[in-house]
Structure 1
Amino acid sequence: MTELDGDTTELSRPARRQAEIAAYVVKHGSVSANDLVEAFGVSVMTVHRDLDELERRGVVRKYRGGVTAQPTSVFESNVAYRLTTAQAEKMAIARHARTMIEPGMSVMLDDSTSALALVDLLEDITPLTVATNFLPAIAKLTGYRDVTLLALGGIYSATHDSFGGMPCAEAVEALNTDLLFCSVSAVSATHAFHQEQEIVLVKQAMLRAARTKVLLVDHVKLQRTALHRLAPLTDFDVVVVDEKTPAELIQAARDHGATVEVAKL
């Protein structure tokens, strides 16, 4: 499980350092333990502990005297990395998304950190029913009064800190929620994509189980590619982007029929 402080949207110091080490390794391709000691100002023992944890999560590969990065798709799936990226943009998108929620609604959240940013804004919109497969969101929501929490179980993934697989998809299929808030790895002018097929399986079940579907997309995701197509953007009732998103990309999505709203930072 990702090591978190009391606020689930913030990484603890060791976890943040591990995310920064992972980013450093990805940027440089292959580095030695001594390189990391110098770059981060920590001991060799601390570096090796961090690398052991990152290797356990499948983010890096250790070899004698150094470390190399896993493929970018694996790295970008890791929750420790995702919690450190585009934080201001995700909070702006979450504030915009909050305006769509009214007391008494049932809300489904996927295992994206974009949806997680919304969790801190739900406490004063109660009563609510919230369903999610994301463990950090579940941990946060257990402390909320007047929130009926539906924890969607399945096969636990330490990389994503969430539950998935067919058991989770089947649990989702049994529901019919008012709203779905979800995100993906990459977005084109016409479609939403994700790099992992097993994650797509659960997200597609969520799309079928919600009456109103909202896609939360920070501008960074418009500059990426991913292997598996989740759905056309027109399958979402609203696509929320942040204001750093280039105007031509917003217009291209609108020209293809998507409803795009821009969240102010």
Structure 2
Amino acid sequence: MKSRQHADRGVARRQAMAEHLMRHGSASVSELAEVFHVSVMTVHRDLDELELQGMVRKYRGGASAQASSVFESNIAYRLTAQIAEKEAIARHVVGLIEPGSSVMIDDSTTALAVARHLAEVAPLTVVTNFLEAIKLLAPVPGIRLMALGGEYHPTHDSFLGVGCVDAVEAMNTDTVIVSTSAISDRHAFHQEQEIVLVKRAMVAAGTRCVLAVDHTKLDRVALHRVAPLEKFDVIVVDAQAPAETVQRLRERRYNVEVAG
């Protein structure tokens, strides 16, 4: 009985620790030990478990829920980041969609923001691998919903893998909307191979492809290249995007639109 109670306390503490990291972005081991009234060794064990679950990444002396060039943030953290910017981008992107057309959206939280507005341009056929978007759109009148299968990944709340790639490659939609973790002057990037493979397939599956990225993704790189920027017909950024970055991308003849 005592061992069960001890295990339950450990689960609750790790959940609270994950929430603390998502709320603050990062924290040191000593800070977490003080906040949760446990030893440094206990914090290390808890962080090891959270890292295995894909919730956080450890670094020397602490842990972070934020993305790095090789680590994508957990979906729970991404849902709380740059909310206003993603909303502005979503409103702009929806203005690019024609009623009666087909739209494919990826498993990004920016695309989820777009999904919340798709009823405004219904009727639409919407294709996605993002479970949160599927649940959101399933009851919406005027939305014909097509769910992409594959292996479910709880860290991203989406379906990935060979099954998903095959399903994407069997389709062609009027518009594809994707977001990536980073873009440079030439390429869009993401940290994880399985997500990269799905995004690449999606980019190839659209008559028109929209890249939607908030300002925190600009002038950055990550481990894997998703696609050259010329593969995207439109790149939509938020108003906080540095003017010099927008100008530089436009000088390279990319179609960059700034969401107001």
TM-score by length of 2: 0.82
Structure 1 unaligned residues grouped into runs of 5+: 1-13, 39-46
Question: Which amino acid is 1:28 matched to?
Answer: A
Structure 2 counterpart of 1:215: 211
Structure 1 counterpart of 2:152: 156
Structure 2 counterpart of 1:203: 199
RMSD: 2.8
Distance 1:159 1:171 in 2: 21
**Counterparts of 1:1-265 in structure 2 under 5 Å?**
18-22=18-22, 24=24, 27-31=26-30, 33-37=32-36, 54-55=50-51, 57-60=53-56, 68-69=63-64, 72-73=68-69, 76-264=72-260
Structure 1 position 75, deviation (Å) = 5.2
Question: Which amino acid is 2:55 matched to?
Answer: V
Give a deviation string over 1:153-185, Cα, whole Å, max 9, x none: 101111111011111000001111000111000
TM-score by length of 1: 0.80
Report which of the two structures shows the higher radius of gyration computed on alpha carbons: 2
Question: Which amino acid is 2:82 matched to?
Answer: A
Distance 1:122 1:16 in 2: 34
Question: Which amino acid is 1:261 matched to?
Answer: E
Give a deviation string over 1:15-40, Cα, whole Å, max 9, x none: 8984442464x6334346443338xx
Partner of 1:81, secondary structure, is helix
Distance 2:256 2:32 in 1: 45
Distance 1:69 1:125 in 2: 38
Structure 1 position 51, deviation (Å) = 6.4
Structure 2 unaligned residues grouped into runs of 5+: 1-13, 38-42
Structure 1 position 59, deviation (Å) = 2.6
Distance 2:189 2:23 in 1: 22
Cα separation, partners in 2 of 1:258 and 1:29, compared to 1, 3 Å = farther
Distance 1:73 1:109 in 2: 23
Cα separation, partners in 2 of 1:247 and 1:61, compared to 1, 3 Å = closer
